[in-house]
Structure 1
Amino acid sequence: MVLRLIILLFTCLLLCTCGSAPAEVVVDSQPRKWEISGRAMGSYYKITYLGDSLSGLSARIDSLLDAYNLELSAWVPESKLSVFNREAEGVNLEGTQHFIPNLNLARIVHQATGGAYDPTIAPLVNYWGFGTGQPRQSAEVVQEEIDRLLPLVGFENLELEGQQLGKKYPGVQLDLNASAKGYGVDLIAQLLKNSGRPDHLVDVGGEMRGGGTKNGQAWTVAIRLPDEDKAKIALAGTLPLSNDRAIATSGNYLNYYKVGGETFSHTINPKTGLVERNRLLSASVLAPDCATADAFATACMVLGPEQAMALIEQDPKLEAYFLVRGEGDALETLKSSGL
């Protein structure tokens, strides 16, 4: 009788326990956000992604970009690009992963922009004191020197046969910096996707790519006002960025120097050989990948606002947000029809 009572009481206790509400547990329905940052490609990188933490991500990014630099950095003496620029005849590209894709992209953008983007502009970039060149000590422009360098500029001066990249003249040199940071952004974005983190925002020196969404909403990126005072950071506007959409901005307001009362900016016109300063102060281009956006943004700065916007409107994959100097130096905004 006692044993039967004990069994009955235990059964009742078990039923009450199974039917009762569990202890309160706070569940975050949103994936956790992680941020990492560091230095890369002569600038910074900042990466935001959603999901579980990725162990060793910084080291993987550094390794990825180091491999890129060993192929295409003009500041790494042993890089394949540096060797090409030094050699009189060219280099063999066997074993490289990034050189030919960058060169193919450059060819596409070169043709689409009528030559406004040209990776063989390196001799002129160096002459004007940018790239690996030294800033000019005099405001005097020697037209004869520019005329001597202009024949070295032109995609037709490159000869790619299989894995062998040759040059028409010994002085032909490459400068792929106009798409370098954008390409680095794309490499990191692909790394995150391959690691199971499709929702991310990658920023390398202001060039950005948004993967997926931020908890169902587009990532938001800012357009900076063009001010030559680097300490002044103000926003001209914002744009949504998601689902593998990228944005790159080119402008003369940060990369320049002054000598003898003259301002020398980093935008060089590959057709005239001269520093290009027109009404277009800042060109932000959106594209399916950041390397393409980067290269087109550079070309837009060369073309000026009217020609550049006409170019963007011809390609349904591209959008643009321009900041233009208007009458009386008033700042004007010019957007493509898709924005």
Structure 2
Amino acid sequence: MRHILFFGSMLLFFACNNPEQKKDQDKGYLMIEGQTMGTYYRITYQDSLNLNIQSEVEKSLAELNAELSTYDSTSLISAFNQSTAIQFNIPLRARHFLANLNKSAEVYRSSKGAFDPTVAPLVNYWGFGYTGSKPVTEVDSTTIKALLDLVGMSKLNWTTRGDSVLIRKQMPGIKLDFNAIAPGYAVDELGRVLEAKKIYNYLIDIGGEVLAKGRNPQGKDWVLGITTPKEGAESTDIQTTVPLHNQALATSGNYRKYYSVKGVKYSHTLNPKTGFPERSKLLSATVIAPDAMTADAYATVCMVLGLEKGLALIESLPNLEAYFIYGDPKGAMLVKYTSKFKDDR
């Protein structure tokens, strides 16, 4: 779950007679917004030519959903999940699906399995997936164990055959869910749409997955606020602010998307190795990366690994920074961050 507040970008849209807004409009900064992937998208960008990019943006998002949305029964990923065959052909033109598949395999390897889109059957079992929100009232360890047999990117392999990619499943029940990486990919894809139109100063946000390029209307770096990870917190309850230098940012946390049964709290972050929602002192993980797809994936990885292992992993990877908020036994909120985060801020 991503919760980000923007500084230096949204303030100019609050009042038509705001002098600062007029100043920013003169610089050619515009904002468009809409709905996609079950959430919002919002793009702030400099466009002195007054180009109409919204129709192209929405066309691109529709193409993404046609390949990646598990909530669309006619999408390519839904066809893969519904298939009972152990072999499935993906056309090479389905570049969005294949990009998410290959990046997922990369993060799966680097995280030693903490990131795994084949966790889809478990996500559905726990009531956080595309089969609908159905909280588990009685945990069935036998069912979880059986579902774990379907989990593991190593249980898939794929090769290019002519104009398609042949994916082989070890068993027909293996399914994919790219929801922990596809929003970030969509942000990057919209960045490519804007830059094809020679728009280089922009902030793209899809449900809290953010890519910031160039300068904001004040001619400075885009600055974002990370909200305090506590139940009932307002979006204006800010823990810290972060300037971005042509970077992407994603925050993952368990404090809003969860349910409680018989006093036990179950969150949407599932551990692919145990089959259970991950429980740790880590409340939220913010990752900064060169692209939103990477930031999105590793924010989820950190929530699965927990504070110490997540911190160690991000420290070991080039071009990544992270900011963690965690709780102590007395209920206080504490922070840790990577050395690269400290040095750059």
Distance of aligned partners of 1:53 and 1:140 in 2 relative to their CA distance in 1, 3 Å threshold: farther
Match of 1:222 in 2: 225
Q: 1:327 to 1:264 in 2, by over 3 A?
A: closer
Contact 1:210 1:241 in 2 (8 A): yes
Pick one of 179, 187, 191 that aligns with 1:185. Answer: 187
1:255 to 250, 254, 257: 257
Q: Deviations over 1:42-70 (max 9, x none)?
A: 11111111131543311111110110111
TM-score, structure 1 as length reference: 0.88
- What TM-score does the superposition give when structure 2 sets the normalisation length? 0.86
SS at match of 2:149: helix
Contact 1:121 1:270 in 2 (8 A): yes
Map 1:164-179 to 2 at 5 A. Answer: 164-179=166-181
The aligned runs of 1:89-238 (5 Å cut-off) are 89=85, 90-94=87-91, 95-162=93-160, 163-214=165-216, 215-229=218-232, 233-238=236-241
The residue identity in structure 2 corresponding to 1:36 is I
Q: Distance in 1 between matches of 2:327 and 2:70?
A: 33
Counterpart of 1:289 in structure 2: which amino acid?
Answer: D
Query: Per-residue deviation at 1:261?
Result: 2.9
Amino acid at match of 1:37: E
Secondary structure of 2:301's counterpart equals helix
Q: Residues of 2 paired with 1:151 and 1:54: CA distance?
A: 53
2:323 aligned partner: 321
| Structure 1 runs not aligned, ≥5 long | 1-26
Provide closer, same or farther for how the CA distance between residues 169 and 34 of structure 1 changes in structure 2, counting only shifts above 3 A.
same
Provide the rounded CA distance (Å) in 2 between the counterparts of 1:54 and 1:175: 37
- Structure 2: which amino acid aligns with 1:256? Y
Corresponding residue pairs, total: 312
How large is the RMSD of aligned CA atoms in angstroms? 1.8
Q: Distance in 1 between matches of 2:26 and 2:183?
A: 31
Q: CA 1:29–1:225 in 2, change beyond 3 Å: closer, same or farther?
A: closer
% of aligned pairs identical?
42
Q: Shift of residue 217 of structure 1?
A: 1.5
Shift in alpha-carbon separation, 1:193–1:136, aligned structure 2, 3 A: same
In 2, Cα distance between the equivalents of 1:87 and 1:199?
43
Match of 1:280 among 259, 279, 282: 282
Counterpart of 1:222 in 2: which secondary structure?
A: strand
Instruction: For 2:294, give the aligned amino acid.
Output: T
Bigger Rg over Cα: 1
Amino acid at match of 2:338: S
CA distance in 2, matches of 1:139, 1:122: 19
